[in-house]
A and B are shown apart, each in its own frame.
Chain A
Amino acid sequence: MSWLLFGVLAALMCAGVPIAVALGLSGAAVIAAAKMGIMSVPVTVYAGIAKYPLIAIPVFILAGLIFERSGVAASLVRLAESLVGQRRGGLAVAAVLVCMVLGGISGSGPADSAAVGAIMIPAMTRAGYPREFTASLIAAGGSTAIIIPPSVAFIVYSILVPQASVPALFAAGLVPGVLAGGSLILASIFFSVRNDFGVRDTEARPPFWRSLKEASWALLAPVIILGGMRSGMFTPTEAAVVAVAYGLLVGAFAYRSLGWKEIWKLFEEAAEISAVILLLVGLAALFGWAVDTVGVFNEFAKWLTAKDTGETAVLLAITFMLLVAGTALDAVATYFIFLPFLLPVAAAYGWDPVWLGVIVTLNVAIGQFTPPTAVNLMITARLAGVTMESTTVWVLWFVGAMTAVLLLITFVPEIVLFLPRWLGYL
């Protein structure tokens, strides 16, 4: 049965069939072959999507789009520029900072890369950064979006692993997200100083206080979202809808950049982006149902833990496996395919489910900009007008930097867990 499940999945995925459909069909094939009741196909898909916590996903995506399009991204770039100034590597540092803050509103890596790339790639090219370097850096920076709260990926993880609550995951993602961004900043400063990137930066440094005032509307958004959840005023879904209302008010009245027509377009676009993720969640539920019923992974996990394999070796093996998978899959698909196997292993070793979620998600984040199948890099390379192959020399350094952070939090779980514990979520 497990051969049928993974054979069909791998064959369909390699043929370029959308991952959602590949997961759904392989699940349905097993359900049919095992005569487990074919009527569970529509029931599982319907019930997989019709879940109240999932409502946070389209609403956070909408909030992110509203902030991105209402001129907030540009105001953040000006603030970051005024902070770091014109020096070697200045714009590179600014780009990573903007990726981190914007990711803290929308929670979607490719959207983040596209928004920041559209503004920063022309500016950085004028200042003398090679296009390949810029494309690599922004693809890497955008990937921090799924770790820095609010993260769409963590909402799905929490549905699959109910012991890990959304507020706990959001709190747990904050420090690793900042560390990941920090490692990119260090790497970019190193290369900029060594290669004199950004010495041609001639654009006037924007005045700090005015930039701060303009960007303050944007900087308040994560405070409202996370603060509202922390104080218990809102559930994650409600925090998302409050962020939408706040973004619409800021866009319409503070920046005066959004009219009715633009707002409706944003609703259309948010619906399309969310539908892709939600369809994946629904069809992956079929795959999950098949895995649970056939019980493929329990045996494997039992075998693995019974063999007295050292915890370190298991952790390294899992990290390697997820890094490889992360280059081809997105966060949601990775959860559905690997969690049935990882959760029994985690239980056997007594790993914290919140920490496990952060580890798996950071793995996927690195995969998002690791060639050859990186989604973020595909977008930024296209924006910069370079081939993805030509970015390899730079992007591998950023992959290395973020992998160092990954190994750090893998072997020192307290870095992830102290914040949610201090806030009382664990």
Chain B
Amino acid sequence: MRETEYSQGPPPTLPPRARFRAERFLGAAAMAAICVITLGNVLARYFTDISFAFTEEVSVFLLVFLTFVGSAKAFLDGNQIAMEYLLLKLPWRWRRRGYLFSLAMCALMLGLLAWFGARMAWDDYDMEVTSPGLGWPQWIYTVWLPVLSLAVMARLVQGFVFIFKTKTP
């Protein structure tokens, strides 16, 4: 959760040079777009006869986009919900190994999503699957799952390298 804001100094797992500028910007933009689309939908329903046909399809995609863009930072600054109770009791020598193991497992998960997600998007492209709402090609949505998974993996690698080098906290 939002623990890091209230502790003294940055957490030992966050590389000091990682600012997450791109992720933060894209996350906020997706958040804003979701609000604008949904609010527009309410106003359109009450004040005009126009229906926002693409509301559901696009905002649901933005949700997936937001999820991956926004979660990268949380993997490194300890804001992912995890049971760190045991880990925090250990001396740094072992805690460091725990963090490295944890990051490796996260990278494995994101790797699975990137690898099989790429095959899913390829299938959508190959079989010319169209989206249920707007009839657009489905792969323009699904291709973002592997792409963004790779982007999160890049951050995980950055964190892994940083902790690997941090022999003493």
Contact = CB atoms under 8 A, between A and B. Distances in A.
Interface of A: 12-22, 24-25, 28, 38-39, 41-43, 45-46, 49-52, 54-55, 58-59, 62, 110-111, 114, 118, 234, 237-238, 241-242, 244-245, 264, 267-268, 270-276, 278-280, 282-283, 328, 330, 333, 372-373, 375, 378-379, 382-383
13 contacts: A21-B106, A28-B109, A38-B116, A39-B119, A46-B142, A52-B60, A114-B5, A114-B6, A241-B38, A245-B39, A267-B27, A267-B28, A382-B7
Contacts of A245: 35, 39
A44 B71 CA distance: 18
Contacts of A333: 81
Interface residues of B, number: 61
A19 B120 contact: no
A352 B154 CA distance: 46
B81 A280 contact: yes
A74 B82 CA distance: 31
B31 interface: yes
Interface string B29-58: 011101100110110000000000000100
A94 to B, nearest CB: 21
Interface of B: 1-3, 5-7, 24-25, 27-28, 30-32, 34-35, 38-39, 41-42, 56, 59-61, 63-64, 66-71, 73-75, 79-87, 98-99, 101-102, 105-106, 108-109, 112-113, 116-117, 119-120, 123, 142, 145-146
B64 A46 contact: yes
B59 to A, nearest CB: 6
Contacts of B41: 238
B145 A52 contact: no
A248 to B, nearest CB: 9
B159 to A, nearest CB: 12
B63 A54 contact: yes
Given A21-B109, A271-B69, A275-B69, A16 B1 contact: no
A266 to B, nearest CB: 9
B32 to A, nearest CB: 6
B115 to A, nearest CB: 9
B63 A50 contact: yes
A331 B90 CA distance: 27
B6 A383 contact: yes
B39 A375 contact: no
A55 B60 contact: yes
Contacts of A25: 105, 108-109
B64 A49 contact: yes
9 nearest A-B residue pairs (beta carbon): A275-B70, A271-B27, A18-B80, A267-B28, A110-B1, A16-B87, A42-B117, A275-B71, A278-B67
A53 to B, nearest CB: 10
A104 B66 CA distance: 24
Given A234-B42, A382-B6, 9 more contacts: A15-B86, A28-B109, A55-B34, A58-B31, A264-B28, A270-B31, A271-B28, A276-B70, A373-B83
A425 B129 CA distance: 39
Contact of A238 (B28, B42, B102): B42
A267 B24 CA distance: 9
Contacts of A264: 28
A260 to B, nearest CB: 12
Contacts of B67: 49, 274-275, 278-279, 282
A59 B38 contact: yes
B30 A378 contact: no
Contacts of A52: 56, 59-60
B102 to A, nearest CB: 5
Nearest to A12: B105
A293 to B, nearest CB: 17
B38 A238 contact: yes
Given A52-B59, A59-B34, A275-B71, A16 B117 contact: no
A268 B27 contact: yes
B105 A378 contact: no
